[in-house]
């Protein structure tokens, strides 16, 4: 029978991901600082404990899905962190999007305890997390990849080995910089078309059969009423928070600066998402940039 898998961070993404582990027959032992996040999983049969150390005490495979670098550092190295109780030979997979340098730091600390760390950030959003169709970008020792794949394939359609620790994060940061640019581009395009008198559904349909098509136009359209089952149809609740996107663009900027890489549009996208955070959009889905661009209507 399958042994317990630990899961830490049951937010918008972690909750549906952990559910898919349960669905595949893995007993799950989980924790989150926000007790309300644990309710659904507990009702489905997961064991809920108080902190990451208790998870590490019981499970030798653990997935973390946390907002950002400081949360990951806390969950691994904090007073009740994983490293307080981690067993030798454990496999620790971090699927949060964080600074690749922090992934490398965690990998070193985990290695000192005789365990294995891999970074495995994801792409796909809450929809793909729910349907088990995420893309995982995995960094770490190649010999451990098969073991990671066994778990990750329960939650994803694509599990891609990228190279040494931190390279999963590198791939993810690049993807999200392009996603941000694409979402802003889709939003300003849709807004212009609407003001030119086009019906938004018709415009989306035309874009999606033309060269402007992208994920933001055909899978996650930012205009309310164009698509069902996306945050724009639900007052931009759930989904991928604007604050998280601003974080990812900050990571892209830092790595671009370090490597002297020009990223002019990534830079502009970062500033736009930072401004949105300061204007009340922090907790809304990142597709709300469409509403941000329409604020001139209030004037």
Residue number, 55 or 113, with CB nearest to ligand NAD: 55
Tokens of 130: 């729910």
Tokens of 248: 């990812």
> What's CA 196's distance to the chain center, in Å?
35
Shortest distance (Å) from residue 13 CB to ligand NAD = 3
Which of 30, 27, 25 has its CA nearest to residue 14?
30
Sign of the CA dihedral running 126, 94, 75, 246 = negative
Shortest distance (Å) from residue 5 CB to ligand NAD = 16
Shortest distance (Å) from residue 11 CB to ligand NAD = 2
Q: Pick the catalytic residue: 172, 205, 247, 298?
A: 172
- Rounded CA-CA distance 256/224 in Å is 34
Identify the three-state secondary structure at position 262.
coil
Taking CB under 6 A as the rule, does residue 169 contact ligand NAD? Answer: no
Instruction: List own/partner pairs for 146-151 with CB under 8 A and 24 or more apart.
Output: 147/61, 147/91, 148/91, 148/93, 148/118, 148/120, 151/5, 151/21, 151/26, 151/61, 151/63, 151/93
Nearest residue to ligand NAD, using CB?
Answer: 11
Indicate if 172 belongs to the active site.
yes
Residue number, 140 or 193, with CB nearest to ligand NAD: 140
Build a one-symbol-per-residue string for 206-245: x at contacts with ligand NAD by CB under 6 A, - elsewhere: ---------------------------------xx---x-
- Rounded CA-CA distance 288/280 in Å is 11
Build a one-symbol-per-residue string for 13-42: x at contacts with ligand NAD by CB under 6 A, - elsewhere: xx----------------xxxx--x-----
Residue number, 126 or 180, with CB nearest to ligand NAD: 126
Q: Is 150 exposed, middle or buried (0-12, 13-18, 19+ CB in 10 A)?
A: middle
Shortest distance (Å) from residue 143 CB to ligand NAD = 26
- DSSP state at residue 285: B
| Residue numbers 87-146 binding ligand NAD by CB under 6 A | 96-97, 122-123, 125-126
Taking CB under 6 A as the rule, does residue 75 contact ligand NAD? Answer: yes
Taking CB under 6 A as the rule, does residue 74 contact ligand NAD? Answer: yes
Asked if residues 138 and 152 have their Cβ atoms less than 8 Å apart, the reply is: yes
Identify the three-state secondary structure at position 289.
helix
Q: Which stretch binds ligand NAD (CB under 6 A): 3-11, 138-146, 183-191, 258-266?
A: 3-11
Build a one-symbol-per-residue string for 51-70: x at contacts with ligand NAD by CB under 6 A, - elsewhere: --------------xxxx--
Catalytic residues: 172
Q: What residue ranges bind ligand NAD (CB under 6 A)?
A: 8-14, 31-34, 37, 65-68, 71, 74-75, 96-97, 122-123, 125-126, 239-240, 244, 248
């Amino acid at each position: 029978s399958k042994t317990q898998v630990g899961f830490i961070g049951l937010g918008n993404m972690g909750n549906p991901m952990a559910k898919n582990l349960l669905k595949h027959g893995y007993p799950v032992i989980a924790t989150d600082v926000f007790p309300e996040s644990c309710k659904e999983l507990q009702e489905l049969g997961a064991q809920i404990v108080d902190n990451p150390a208790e998870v590490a005490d019981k499970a030798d495979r653990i997935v973390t899905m946390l907002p950002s670098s400081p949360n990951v550092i806390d969950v691994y190295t904090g007073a009740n962190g994983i490293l307080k109780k981690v067993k030798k030979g454990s496999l620790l997979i971090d699927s949060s999007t964080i600074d690749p340098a922090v992934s490398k730091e965690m990998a070193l600390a985990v290695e000192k305890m005789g365990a294995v760390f891999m970074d495995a950030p994801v792409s796909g959003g809450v929809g793909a997390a729910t349907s088990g169709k995420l893309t995982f970008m995995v960094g770490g020792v190649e010999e451990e990849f098969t073991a990671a794949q066994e778990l990750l394939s329960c939650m994803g359609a694509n599990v891609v080995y990228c190279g040494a620790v931190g390279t999963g994060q590198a791939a993810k940061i690049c993807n999200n910089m392009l996603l941000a640019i694409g979402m802003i581009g889709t939003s300003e395009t849709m807004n212009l078309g609407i003001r030119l008198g086009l019906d938004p559904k018709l415009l989306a349909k035309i874009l999606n059969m033309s060269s402007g098509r992208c994920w933001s136009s055909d899978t996650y359209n930012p205009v309310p009423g164009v698509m069902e089952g996306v945050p724009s149809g639900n007052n931009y609740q759930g989904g991928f928070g604007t604050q998280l996107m601003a974080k990812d663009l900050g990571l892209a900027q830092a790595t671009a600066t370090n490597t002297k890489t020009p990223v002019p549009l990534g830079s502009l996208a970062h500033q736009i998402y930072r401004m949105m955070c300061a204007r009340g959009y922090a907790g809304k889905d990142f597709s709300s940039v469409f509403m941000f661009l329409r604020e001139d209507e209030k004037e």
